[in-house]
């Protein structure tokens, strides 16, 4: 991959950090871009059971917040597509709200859960397996998935084709301006790089390819003919399940996990008053 130019604004990228993979930064728009590789064996350091306990409540709550905004912007009988459905929690929330949504997911580890909950999921990669809809989808959503995609410009062009006129694109993703990313940078500067490696998920089979801030996220989509209609601040931490989330990393021992849980709990007032770690962007396709 060409690492000389920024995929958002076209300016030069400069090497910023050397971790397991290199991280480059655009001095112009602030995009952080990695040369990480997707691991097709799907081998991961993430323990799916612990991840589920820690994340479920939080994700369902965030899904509710997003659905309310979606219905406010675009009422009626909606038909949507979710790219990267994971465990299928977004699709469950859609079902509860009578929203018709199809999910696309490359991994089959949650297949039994999908079947048991009667979720409409197609296995494979977007756009290869994506069912075409004559009039286009009313919305397409990415829940913690967009940051894993390498060719973001090619992707957005495909999304445009699959959205209806005035269709809504929802991207919910971690931000480089959030408390935890900034903390990880500070730790890295002190010589402790494990948090930053974790933030980029470089030890997982699907690492992050980009970290955005709010202006460069908007710049990417406006460049492709979208207009930003809203940005929601989402919650990243359910303080009651911090330990399960930390334990979801197989490399984490119990003592270290206890220290981190305690530290995060003590920092709660700072974390909740800082720039959010996760935001949900709403973009409208302009025709
Ligand atoms: Zn840039």
CATH number (domain holding residue 210): 3.40.50.150
What is the predicted pLDDT for the residue at 208?
A: 96
Span from the CA of 181 to the centroid of ligand 1 (angstroms)? 19
20 inside domain: no
**Residue 44 confidence (pLDDT):** 55
Residue 143 domain-assigned (yes or no):
yes
Q: Is residue 12 part of a domain?
A: no
CA of 73 to the centre of ligand 1 (A): 30
CA distances from 57 to 174, 237, 246, 261 (A): 18, 10, 15, 18
CA of 183 to the centre of ligand 1 (A): 23
pLDDT at residue 26, rounded to an integer: 97
Cα 16 to ligand 1 centre (Å): 14
In the chain, the number of structural domains is 1
Distance 28 CA to ligand 1 centre (A): 5
Residue 158 lies in a domain: yes
Residue 173: what pLDDT?
96
Ligand 1: distance of its center to the CA of 40 in Å? 28
Q: In this structure, is residue 140 part of a structural domain? A: yes
pLDDT recorded at residue 51: 53
CB 173 within 8 A of CB 152: no
Ligand 1: centre distance to CA 66 (Å): 28
pTM reported for the whole predicted model: 0.88
List the 163-174 sheet strands across, edge first. Answer: 121-123, 100-105, 79-83, 137-143, 163-174, 278-285, 226-234
- Which residue is it, tokens 């929802």? 170
> Any bridge partners for residue 12, and if so which?
5
Distance 257 CA to ligand 1 centre (A): 36
Q: What is the pLDDT of residues 229-283, one digit of tens each?
A: 999 999 876 666 667 767 776 667 788 888 878 887 887 777 777 788 999 999 9
Domain enclosing residue 97, as ranges: 46-285
157-177 pLDDT tens trace: 999 999 999 999 999 999 999
- The Cα 224–Cα 154 span in angstroms is 10
In a domain, 114, yes or no: yes
Q: Quick check: is 27 in a domain?
A: no
Whether 70 is covered by a domain: the verdict is: yes
- pLDDT range class, residue 138, cuts 50, 70, 90: very high
């Amino acid at each position: 991959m060409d690492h000389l130019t920024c995929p958002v604004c076209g300016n030069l990228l400069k090497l910023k950090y050397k971790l397991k993979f290199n991280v480059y930064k655009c001095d112009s728009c602030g995009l952080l871009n990695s040369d990480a590789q997707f691991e097709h064996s799907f081998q991961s350091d993430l323990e799916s059971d612990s991840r589920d306990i820690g994340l479920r409540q939080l994700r369902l709550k965030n899904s509710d917040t997003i659905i309310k905004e979606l219905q406010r912007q675009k009422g009626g009988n909606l038909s949507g597509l979710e790219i990267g459905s994971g465990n299928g929690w977004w699709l469950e929330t859609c079902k509860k709200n009578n929203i018709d949504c199809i999910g696309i997911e490359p991994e089959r580890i949650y297949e039994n859960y999908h079947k048991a909950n009667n979720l409409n999921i197609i296995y494979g990669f977007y756009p290869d397996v994506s069912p075409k809809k004559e009039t286009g989808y009313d919305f397409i959503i990415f829940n913690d998935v967009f940051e894993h995609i390498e060719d973001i410009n090619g992707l957005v062009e495909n999304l445009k084709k699959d959205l209806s006129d005035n269709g809504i694109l929802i991207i919910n993703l971690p931000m480089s301006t959030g408390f935890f990313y900034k903390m990880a940078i500070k730790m890295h500067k002190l010589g402790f790089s494990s948090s930053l490696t974790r933030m980029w998920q470089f030890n997982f089979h699907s690492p992050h390819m980009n970290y955005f801030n709010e202006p460069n996220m908007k710049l990417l989509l406006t460049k492709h003919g979208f207009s930003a209609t809203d940005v929601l601040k989402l919650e990243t931490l359910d303080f009651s399940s911090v330990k399960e989330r930390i334990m979801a990393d197989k490399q984490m021992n119990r003592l270290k996990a206890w220290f981190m849980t305690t530290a995060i709990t003590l920092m709660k007032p700072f974390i909740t008053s800082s720039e959010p770690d996760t935001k949900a962007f709403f973009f409208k396709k302009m025709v």
